[in-house]
Amino acid sequence: MLEAGAPDITPLGDAALVVRSPLARELLASLTGRPLPGVREAVPALGVLTVLYDPLTVGPEELTAALAWRLSGLEAQSENTGRTLTLPVTFGGPDLAWCAERVGLDVPGLVRALCGLTLEVAFLGFTPGFAFLTGLPEGLRMPRLDTPCERVPAGSVALGGPWAGVYPRETPGGWRIVGHTDAVLFDVARADPVLWRAGDRVRFENVSELDG
Amino acid sequence: MVESPSLTVERPGLLTTVQDAGRRSRALGVPEGGAADPVARRLANALVGNSADAAGLELTLSGPTLRFHADALISLCGAPFEARLDGGPFPLWRAVPIRAGQTLSILGTGRGARAFLAVRGGLDGQEAFGSRSTDLRTGFGGLEGRALRAGDRLFCFVRPHAKPLRAFINPDLQTPTGPNFVLRALPTPEATPDLLAALCGPTLTVSGQADRMGVRLSESVPTPHDPTRISFPNPPGAVQLPPDGRPILLLPDAGTHGGYLTPLVVASVDCPALGQLRPGDRVRFQVVTVREAHGALRARERSLRAVEAALSWWYMRK
């Protein structure tokens, strides 16, 4: 058991530390603003920050202490400083009807429920431009496919476990596809190649009728 | 104005890409990229007086044929590829002067998988997230985000000509090229005693599924199924176990996050060796402590930096 207040920081290999903390996101912001010596990159996931370090510059004990010290001075950011993005979605993915039936709604009902949510970018990862969107209520969570699809088309809007997400490009994928967006999530030619950032709020806008 | 030196690709080889030291944008979901054997990249660059992170060409299993349109100073480091300059012998691990009009033909290698070709001045290429490395999966960086094709033209940055150094690199510094590898590795909190015994006892074989994203091993180890495991950042050198139990060793183009069990992470000192694994090679994992891993890394880094400093001194003096 951890002592009360002792941060949970564990090694992962010989060049990474894993920080598990409700303040993971605040720690990332702090490290981005004021980098610690020897830290190559800090990579977030849900309630986790993986800190990749250069063992030739800093030792794991020294870095653990520095991270613990940094954490002790942080406070939870109650205010979300992210932007709100609206994502135009054409609903009608291959799994839409299956998902609606599972939650006991008709298709328009599920679409209304999804468009009524404010999701949040928890973290980015998997492939450039892919965002793990959190905020699905328990009733709208979908089990992942038993066998992942070899090719999920780019722009697919999908639900998997506690997450919603959009596939930036054609990849294999194991989530339930409920729609499609034309929004360009990743374009290396843009000044800001990735559309969203952790902390941004996302709303789906139903544009299905406009097309039909 | 000085025209940038250039070269034409006459034959692309199996998979030849522009690579440098890679990028640090994992938090945006962008893979690290970069030369899969960074030791070969550093030494090749040092031999021609480049900074360690200059972009060059990474060759895979079978190399390209390149025609040079200007005098150049080049070096080829990595797996023992057979190479010919205008039909004559071309030595690896040396700085070699090239005259305009000459053709370098790089054939195959009997051991290892990759080599790095450095050109004095460094290659130009599309820069994205601070690196010119080619990301094949998403298609950006380097040359249009793709592998070289016949007819492509590559440009280098202009650097004053330099007299090539007549030194050679101590072979002890070279990344091992198999066919038998011992990979030092560190267990993670996901490593159960059973998993460790299954992974670290036997000799395992590299399967035909080996690319810049990862190398799959042929043997299957009994894998506990954990459907609740959530996606988690992948450190470099992670050894993942998908539900079928055939381990995947992650290379520089691997996705930034993964949902598979990760019982081992290859020690930093042995990550360059992952870039030299080829189908049929035999791999054994050897558990080491963090202290041992760092000791080995520091020892190699001392030698590498000594070579880089000596070569840099040669090119700086006048």
Distance of alpha carbon A205 from alpha carbon B3, whole angstroms = 52
Does B24 contact A43 at a Cβ distance shorter than 8 Å? no
**pLDDT at residue B226 tops 80:** no
Minimal Cβ distance to B29: which of A55, A56, A126: A126
CB within 8 Å of A28: residues ≥ 6 apart: A42, A44, A49, A198, B27
Give contacts of B 66-105 with A, CB under 8 A: none
CB within 8 Å of B166: residues ≥ 6 apart: none
Distance of alpha carbon A39 from alpha carbon A74, whole angstroms = 18
| Helical segments of chain A, H only | 24-33, 60-72, 96-103, 107-115, 208-211
Check: pTM over 0.90? Answer yes or no.
yes
Contact present, B122 and B80 (Cβ < 8 Å) = no
Per-residue pLDDT at A149: 83
Per-residue pLDDT at B244: 87
- The residue ranking higher by pLDDT, B158 or B116, is B116
Whether chain A has a CB inside 8 Å of the CB on B188: the answer is yes
**pLDDT at residue A197 tops 60:** yes
The letter for the amino acid at B232 is F
The letter for the amino acid at A124 is L
**Residues B98-126 pLDDT 10s:** 999 999 999 999 999 999 999 999 999 99
Does B235 contact A186 at a Cβ distance shorter than 8 Å? no
Does A13 contact B237 at a Cβ distance shorter than 8 Å? yes
* DSSP three-state, residue A110: helix
Bridge partners of residue B17, in order along the sequence: B58
For chain B, give the percent of residues with pLDDT over 90. 88
A26 min Cα distance to partner chain B (Å): 14
Does B29 contact A130 at a Cβ distance shorter than 8 Å? yes
- Side-chain-side CA neighbours of B188 within 13 Å: the count stands at 22
Does A126 contact B188 at a Cβ distance shorter than 8 Å? no
Q: How far apart are the first and last CA of chain B?
A: 24
Per-residue tokens: B178: 């198999």
**Residues A71-92 pLDDT 10s:** 999 988 866 678 999 999 999 9
- Side-chain-side CA neighbours of B126 within 13 Å: the count stands at 16
Distance of alpha carbon B52 from alpha carbon B50, whole angstroms = 6
For tokens 């930036």, name the residue.
A168
Quickly state the pLDDT bin for B3 (edges 50, 70, 90): low
CA B276, B279, B282 angle in degrees (round to 5)? 75
